Amino acid sequence: MRIVYLAASAIPSAENANSIQVMSMCEAIAQSGHEVQLIAPARPGRLRGIDPFDYYGVARIFRIEWLPWLPFKGRGYLYAWMAARRAAQLAPDLVYGRLIAGCYLTARRGLATVLEVHQPVRTSEPFLRWMMSRIADAPGLRRVVAVSRSLAEQLARKHGIPAAKMIVAPNAAREPRLPAAEPRFEAGRMHAGYIGGLLPGKGIELIIQLAPTTPWVTYHVVGGTFDEVQGWQKEVREPGRVVFHGRVAPAETDALRQSFDVLLAPYHRHSSDPMEGVHPPWLSPLKLMEYMAAGKPILCSDLPAYREILENERTALLCDPDDPKSWRRALTRLRDDPELRNGLGEAARAVFLEGGTWKHRVQQVLEGLK
């Protein structure tokens, strides 16, 4: 099929994980034998002068077209209209996208359309909520892809998306393209890695709390802006035990994950977004799939969204996000039990290989579409 992918992500971007997901999906769709053109906005935050294919480490097997992102109120809707119009000009067999307004417009035109949704529509976006509640009746809509069961239930309840037009497809990851990394950190210590954003609620606070109580562990924090790193470094009482690496290009993170002994996902129970409050149950983090692909033991907060992906004592150890002692006990178990470490990593990787790659996800979301 000839497929046009509509996105609102800044590509390439050092800040937004959604751009990693968009580029990975486009690569996997193209690798499945389809002709793909990605349409993205030339919005602020896009890294200039950097090749997006090299930056994300994806194959140069699809095209990217950037459309204007104009500097006035309502530009998101104008961009969606331009993206939908451009898709119609290209006359593809299928429009696929994470752009609600753009996919609503292509589906209303009668273009075969698949909309992928990663979070509920905010109450502050009444026009988007209106579109979401009417997209199921659009003549071109083929299906809506939700990234978690909880999100699918919300879309059905709040927007009337029928079960016949909805599938659940969690996020995925690529199989690491590098051999296991040579040791790159100090021997004789446990090296625990966190790769992700540094906003409050992502778990950096918990890592800083753990550092004084686990002297055998060096914590490696990968990600964050320069100002965020500077701010968190001031909170660390034992600087040598928490190492901040700053931002790393997505193409380079495979080697880092494989060099750590343990991978951490210490999300708080409460989201960093004040509009969300309690940690959203509808998330499907890329981070967890990437961790599983690395074949390393995972320590993760015991929250509903992650129990859809990880199984306690089999593919990860799930810890109380409000109790640092729970994390210290888990780290101690991993330190003292090599069989547990190896078993958790191998089981997580096996589950990933059974159905967690981008190739598996593309097969699922496009199955039966012609």
- Domains of the chain, by residue range, sit at 2-168, 190-355
Q: Give the relative orientation of helices 75-90 and 100-109 as an angle to the nearest 10 degrees.
A: 40
Buried b (16+ CB within 10 A) or exposed e, 37-64: bbbbbebeebbeeeebbebbbbeeebeb
Distances (CA, A) of 136 to 142, 157, 300, 324, 329: 9, 13, 36, 45, 48
Specify whether the CB–CB gap between 3 and 92 falls below 8 A: yes
Q: Which long-range contacts (CB under 8 A, 24 or more apart) does 177-181 make?
A: 177/57, 177/254, 178/254, 178/255, 178/258, 180/258, 181/255, 181/256, 181/258, 181/259
pLDDT tens track, the chain, 370 positions: 999 999 999 999 887 789 999 999 999 999 999 999 999 999 887 888 899 999 999 999 999 999 999 988 889 999 999 999 999 999 999 999 999 999 999 999 999 999 999 999 988 899 999 999 999 999 999 999 999 888 999 999 999 999 999 999 999 999 886 555 555 677 779 999 999 988 887 889 999 999 999 999 999 999 988 999 999 998 898 878 999 999 888 888 888 899 999 999 998 876 554 444 445 666 778 889 999 999 999 999 998 888 888 999 999 999 999 999 999 999 999 999 999 999 999 999 999 999 999 999 999 999 999 7
Give CA–CA dist 182/212, Å, rounded: 28
Q: What is the CATH number of domain 2-168?
A: 3.40.50.2000
Angle, vertex CA 186, rays to CA 180 and CA 187, nearest 5: 75
Q: What is the CATH number of domain 190-355?
A: 3.40.50.2000
Angle, vertex CA 286, rays to CA 28 and CA 301, nearest 5: 155
